[in-house]
Amino acid sequence: MDLRLSEEQQQFADSLRRWIEKDYTFEARLKIIRSDAGVSQPAYAALTELGALALAVPEEAGGMGGSSEDLMIVMKEIGRGLVVEPYFATILAAEFFKQAGAHKPILERVAAGDMKLACALNEKGAGHELFNIGLAARQDGAGYVLNGAKCSVVHGGQADGFVVSVRTGGGQRDRDGITLVHVPRAAQGLTVTDFRTFDGQRGADLAFADVRVPASAVVGQAGQGWDILEAVTDYGVALLCAEAVGAIEQANALTLDYLKTRKQFGVPIGTFQVLQHRMADMYIHQEQARSIAVLAAVKVQTAAPDERRKLVSAAKVRVGKALQFVGQQAIQMHGGMGMTNEMSISHYFKRLTAIEMTLGNTDFHRSRFISQPGFAAV
């Protein structure tokens, strides 16, 4: 398998990196996350202009029909630059519409940068089990009435609409009876509570009180939403792994620079053999994470479900180990000042920690991996 970037992919990655280095510096990012909005509309417009939104949308809806490998390139640069704009939330929600083969007008607005989306999938007490859904949708005529709550919705406060997982049948932890619906931000009865997360991004809690949606709001088929929900969130995990690799690479680069410049006993601390060995271990973790993240991105949209689950969970576990090791070692080698908000390395540590807890942590995906068919026979 040839894992090298094509000429077009490399040019796209270079364009994104140049924009981040010029217009999305660490100081610029600090101003954004400390603002009331917590995000930057000009930055989102720049991502749109660069084609990052259109890349996630099919050509028939005005996009460029990029593959998961193409999106991996974007996410890696976003991780390297610690971009806090609602890009991942929007393209993940768009993937629901894309896989369902419907809601073309929404995808057209996403590609044009006119509509931001978010995925409301988490509920209190459910842990990482996305099939554990208590939010009820009662059928009312041809539509549905929603009552319940969702929590920790990434960039929910900045979204113009949500893809919401609701229960229209079965028990709370059944995979049958799950329905996906599109709920506009302006829907009557919907309350959105926006907050800043510890990694400088934004999250929101959603409360639904007799929120009515028409039958046309259903994404896919009513009561049979689990297959799409699982496939799209696996796609999201693969992209998060790519973002983590970008952040790991930058954390390693920052740490290496620090070892070359920080002096003790009159010499750079990078001349100490014990720190050289530790730095070498960090690069080994980086390369192992990068390799499996690429494999997950290449396979996530083409592999059969059983193989996809194994690959994605294996990637999340391996990347999870890498991000924990690199993040903790980078902070330790920077000393106490590595924990301060003035040092960019602390922000990489916080973002890597957040990625570890998003769409299933290492323990969750390890359990998921060993539960797949054929594991015991290996």
Per-residue 3-state assignment (H helix, E strand, C coil) for 82-147: CCCCCHHHHHHHHHHHHHHCCCHHHHHHHHCCCCCEEEECCCCCCCCCCCCCCCEEEEECCEEEEE
If DSSP codes are grouped into helix, strand and coil, which group holds residue 208? strand
pLDDT exceeds cutoff 70 at 4: yes
Q: How confident is the model at residue 374 (pLDDT cuts 50, 70, 90)?
A: confident
Per-residue pLDDT, averaged over 144-148, amounts to 98
**Residues 49-83 pLDDT 10s:** 999 999 999 999 999 999 999 999 999 999 999 99
pLDDT above 90 (res 377): no
Q: What percent of the chain has pLDDT over 90?
A: 95
Q: Are 303 and 311 contacting, i.e. CB atoms less than 8 angstroms apart?
A: yes
pLDDT at 5: 85
31-38: average pLDDT: 96
Structure tokens at 192: 């959105």
Token pair recorded at residue 257: 């620079």
Nearest to 72 by CA among 3, 19, 128: 3
| Mean pLDDT for the stretch of residues 177-186 | 98
The stretch 157-173 carries a mean pLDDT of 97
Q: How confident is the model at residue 376 (pLDDT cuts 50, 70, 90)?
A: low
* pLDDT at residue 324, rounded to an integer: 98
> What average pLDDT does the segment 167-177 reach?
96
Given a cut of 90, whether residue 134 has pLDDT beyond it is yes
pLDDT at 378 over 50: no
Neighbour count for residue 325 (Cβ, 10 Å): 18
Label residue 43 by pLDDT band (50, 70, 90): very high
Taken in order 178, 180, 185, 187, the sign of the CA dihedral is: negative
Segment 282-335, tens digit of pLDDT: 999 999 999 999 999 999 999 999 999 999 999 999 999 999 999 999 999 999
Q: How far apart, in whole angstroms, are the C-alpha atoms of residue 36 and residue 58?
A: 34
How many Cα atoms are found within 13 Å in the side-chain-facing hemisphere of 174? 13
pLDDT at 2: 60
- Determine contact, residues 164/181, Cβ cutoff 8 Å: yes
Q: What is the mean pLDDT of residues 11-38?
A: 96
Q: How far apart are CA 150 and CA 90, in angstroms?
A: 17
Local confidence band at 375 (pLDDT 50, 70, 90 cut-offs): confident
pLDDT tens per residue, range 186-232: 999 999 999 999 999 999 999 999 999 999 999 999 999 999 999 99
* C-alpha closest to that of 162 among 123, 126, 206: 206
Six-digit token string for 49: 């202009």
What's the mean pLDDT when you consider all of the chain? 96
Domains of the chain as residue ranges with CATH: 7-116 (1.10.540.10), 119-223 (2.40.110.10), 226-371 (1.20.140.10)
pTM over 0.85: yes
